[in-house]
Amino acid sequence: MPSPQSLTLPSATELLQQLAALMRPRITPATVLVGIHSGGVWVAEALHATLGLATPLATLDVSFHRDDHHIGNGLKSGGRVSRLPEDVQGAHLVLVDDVLYTGRTIRAALNEIFDYGRPAQVELAVLADRGGRELPIAATYCPHVLSLPASQSLDLMRADDGTLHFKLSEK
């Protein structure tokens, strides 16, 4: 197993550019990006600017839809709120997160989205897929795949100047 010191992490800036390139052919003027708090919102903000989308950026706080709050996940809202279009019925949504791991965050996000209505299509865009899925969820757009043991965590961090970078740590 690679140690946090021995694994070379990808550049978040480069992955953002690659992710935008993967998405660009299928994005329409009506596509709505939905960032999951907090790393997914950071990625969605960067993608929104890079892709030049006119639709407002949407955000989700999935804290109250998590199924694993009993083990310390979820219910950590911190005052964040979900901001989705008034009517998601028939919309093309791209759910955006930083790192895809177990799939539980994505399941929670889908549950919340469907509380607002039934979109025509929901796609998933992530910067990195680190493996370890517990649910049958896969990203539509993903520029980087790596395999990490469950004992390690891949986290997207945002510096004071707004730049994004990955941090690998032991849990």
Residue by residue, pLDDT tens for the chain (171 residues) are 455 555 788 899 999 999 999 999 999 999 999 999 989 999 999 999 999 999 999 999 998 776 655 445 444 545 578 888 878 999 999 999 999 999 999 999 999 999 999 999 999 999 999 999 999 999 999 999 999 999 999 999 999 999 999 999 998
Write down the H helix ranges in 10-103.
12-23, 39-51
- Whether 34 maps to a domain, the answer reads yes
Cβ neighbours of 155 (radius 10 Å): 12
Number of domains in the chain: 1
- Going by C-alpha positions, the residue among 5, 89, 93, 98 that lies closest to residue 43 is 98
- Whether 71 maps to a domain, the answer reads no
Ranges of beta strands (E only) in the chain are 32-36, 58-60, 92-100, 121-129, 152-158, 164-170
* Host domain of residue 31: 12-65+80-170
- Whether 32 maps to a domain, the answer reads yes
Residues 20 and 53: beta-carbon distance below 8 Å: no
Q: What's the pLDDT score for residue 8?
A: 86
- Whether 1 maps to a domain, the answer reads no
CATH number, domain of 163, equals 3.40.50.2020
- Whether 72 maps to a domain, the answer reads no
Q: What's the pLDDT score for residue 71?
A: 47
- Whether 87 maps to a domain, the answer reads yes
- Whether 6 maps to a domain, the answer reads no
- Whether 26 maps to a domain, the answer reads yes
Residues 84 and 115: beta-carbon distance below 8 Å: no
